[in-house]
Structure 1
């Protein structure tokens, strides 16, 4: 189909499901014809937990998305919050979808406030601490794959892909095993902000309340978990508040969970759709998997966009973005910018320019959990493709109704022969 700018409203999750989400053909048109484009408010209530009533500027070029990501003085995460929806001030403070709550979290801060908060929470994400988690992650990955060893087929998202990131979060934060299933359910529902059948805000509030009670428990009975460290230690004379900790746990449960879960699924989907790339990968799985993961992040970023708000009138490519306007940073489009990536529409696991992708963001808000996500992805995919190397998608996945996440809610697979039976 031939598109022109304005044919698709990027705030309408139902239209995106109809045309294909992310709408890569449309983004190609925007990059070439209208790289700074005004997307009006969707023509209807989008449903779900948060309203979207105002339009926004879409940045579709890699250079512009990178610029806005790095320039927090002009493109603020704090002023209107980091999400494209219209969150408001002075609502119920227990509701995570208020501007007040968004500004308290890591992604909703700018400048010195962001740097100070990031310094406190990043203490749990040092290379040493992340490396120490690897044996636990590898053990969980092996157990998950072993659980499907005798299956011929299954729904992949919640049978394989979703479990490892939530188990990792629970282990890191010292969540008792008896509560894992509860946290797992909350995390899955909390990300469904545009699903009218799920109250994502209620699930977020439940998770925040749970972590508050767990913080109190860690103060009474400290242990070696990251949550206990956050609750009991001071860094350079500063300590995270309880709400700081709770919102950070919520961020991990949504951002970390969604990115890892969906990238795991996208790898299997893409090598099913591109058998020649599967062959290349399986020729040398351990050597080629890291680049295949990066190419999947570029080609199918799990988070399609985040928001910034203009702090002043800004001119970009001859277009005036007014102070207070919302700005949509399209990672899905930037990652296929023809001026940055050779043959950008091709899924190529041997790509040499893949490191330029923006799927983990850029600048001060670059995802601090990127190393953890890569370890989890490597662990589950290495284990799965070693034990069940023929795993493949058998029907089109069910896409999530979302303008935020490039997510799937179901993906049927057949596992094929167990590796040690191949050739038997």
Structure 2
């Protein structure tokens, strides 16, 4: 009988935040399927092939967050678990398939043209707000506001409220059971969302809230709680990962001015570069979990029904068997698009194409309009925990003042 491979691992802990690359590389090499006792215990999955296998088999590895305890007791996609169910992300086929179809029309290539154009307008607007001053903060002035405002417009939140909604995501890198987790802010936003749902029920417009409030599945109206869970997932997960990738890319590009002009001029090179940035700077750092629905085996380890597995997408992005010299940034890497930044299988992020486009739009705008930007590295601050996103709290920067595009 195979002994259970056990490791000392906590994705929310300080050691992981400081040494995640080394820690995950050692696990990939020595114990790619390993048990940790942290947070009531779970399996840590670190190899690309295993992560994709689990993602493609939701009948064995469930996403369900069974808050009420009526569907088998699944504990969702976060460890520790989310205090409320994110309906789309925390459901399995066929429920997940039906729910995904409701949001899919907002992410077709035709529909995306509108959101990409909005992102271009907003990044210029955000740069206009600081360009005459010659200084700002890449996080608070550009990389968070642009994807946040696009997402909130898509969902149906009034533009004048975007900062309140955005603020409820800024401490979300903490685990849900942490005393500083923004639970009160999120509950307040959830209450405000309830009002918007009532409003769209009576007066629908061209947004996701309206679609879900009038949606039917198998001839029955979508339950209100399900609609709310889908909307909260979009609001709280729709922009922080995009913002993190853009911020990390711009942080790296400050030291590589030789790349700037080609990224401005060459669309194909920019697309490849974004793929590589998503691989090298994985936005989801704390992994996403699945619930084992029946006894199974993976690399000789016995996974029992009721166990939880944590898929370390960032580890898959550094798997030497998938990516040659993964510790190097190669902006023209041939297979960079195989990265796991947006997951795999039926739960691959519905907004992945929009997210990739937004990262490229922000990179190009900054390089073009603020070409000599300089980051204040002494004042720049990363999040203290990598338990969720690979993000920054602040990244002050300066540049030669310029002119606004709009008066």
TM range, normalised to the smaller chain?
0.7 to 0.9
2:396 to 399, 407, 412: 412
Tell me the equivalent position of 1:148: 130
Which whole-Å CA distance do the structure 1 matches of 2:54 and 2:403 have between them? 47
Which whole-Å CA distance do the structure 2 matches of 1:351 and 1:177 have between them? 38
1:325 to 294, 297, 307: 307
Which whole-Å CA distance do the structure 2 matches of 1:12 and 1:190 have between them? 12
Does residue 71 of structure 1 match 2:63?
Answer: no
Deviations 1:98-126 (A, max 9, x none): 3xx32x61111112111111122223322
Tell me the equivalent position of 2:69: none
Alignment TM-score, normalising by the size of structure 2: 0.87
Classify 1:195/1:294 alpha carbon distance in 2 versus 1 (closer, same or farther; 3 Å). Answer: farther
Which whole-Å CA distance do the structure 1 matches of 2:179 and 2:224 have between them? 31
Alignment TM-score, normalising by the size of structure 1: 0.84
Cα drift, residue 325 of structure 1: 1.3
Does residue 230 of structure 1 match 2:212?
Answer: yes
- Ranked by relative contact order (alpha carbons within 8 Å, sequence separation 6 or more), the top structure is 2
Corresponding residue SS for 1:106? coil
Does residue 10 of structure 1 match 2:10?
Answer: yes
Does residue 59 of structure 1 match 2:76?
Answer: no
1:19-418 alignment to 2 at 5 Å? 19-20=18-19, 23-41=20-38, 52=39, 54-78=40-64, 79-85=74-80, 87=81, 97-98=82-83, 101-102=84-85, 105-190=87-172, 192-193=174-175, 196=178, 198-234=180-216, 237-273=219-255, 275=256, 278-285=257-264, 286-287=266-267, 288-304=269-285, 305-395=287-377, 397-400=380-383, 401-416=385-400, 418=402
Classify 1:281/1:316 alpha carbon distance in 2 versus 1 (closer, same or farther; 3 Å). Answer: farther
Tell me the equivalent position of 1:94: none
Q: How big is the alpha-carbon RMSD for the aligned residues of Structure 1 and Structure 2?
A: 2.4
Maintained 8 Å contact 1:8/1:15? no
Which whole-Å CA distance do the structure 2 matches of 1:362 and 1:339 have between them? 17
Maintained 8 Å contact 2:54/2:61? yes
Aligned length: 386
Maintained 8 Å contact 1:8/1:26? no
Higher mean C-alpha displacement, 235-244 vs 291-300: 235-244
Cα drift, residue 61 of structure 1: 0.7
Which whole-Å CA distance do the structure 2 matches of 1:162 and 1:195 have between them? 24
Cα drift, residue 142 of structure 1: 0.9
Classify 1:170/1:300 alpha carbon distance in 2 versus 1 (closer, same or farther; 3 Å). Answer: same
Cα drift, residue 243 of structure 1: 2.1
Which whole-Å CA distance do the structure 2 matches of 1:149 and 1:352 have between them? 36
Structure 1: gaps of 5 or more residues? 42-51, 88-96
Maintained 8 Å contact 1:191/1:254? no
Which whole-Å CA distance do the structure 2 matches of 1:356 and 1:120 have between them? 26
Deviations 1:357-415 (A, max 9, x none): 01100001000011221222222222111101232433164222241222221223233
Classify 1:294/1:195 alpha carbon distance in 2 versus 1 (closer, same or farther; 3 Å). Answer: farther
Maintained 8 Å contact 1:309/1:325? yes
Which whole-Å CA distance do the structure 2 matches of 1:227 and 1:175 have between them? 9
Which whole-Å CA distance do the structure 1 matches of 2:112 and 2:319 have between them? 32
Deviations 1:145-168 (A, max 9, x none): 122212333332112211012211
Structure 2: gaps of 5 or more residues? 65-73
Higher mean C-alpha displacement, 145-154 vs 362-371: 145-154
Classify 1:270/1:194 alpha carbon distance in 2 versus 1 (closer, same or farther; 3 Å). Answer: farther
Maintained 8 Å contact 1:72/1:111? yes
Classify 1:236/1:38 alpha carbon distance in 2 versus 1 (closer, same or farther; 3 Å). Answer: closer
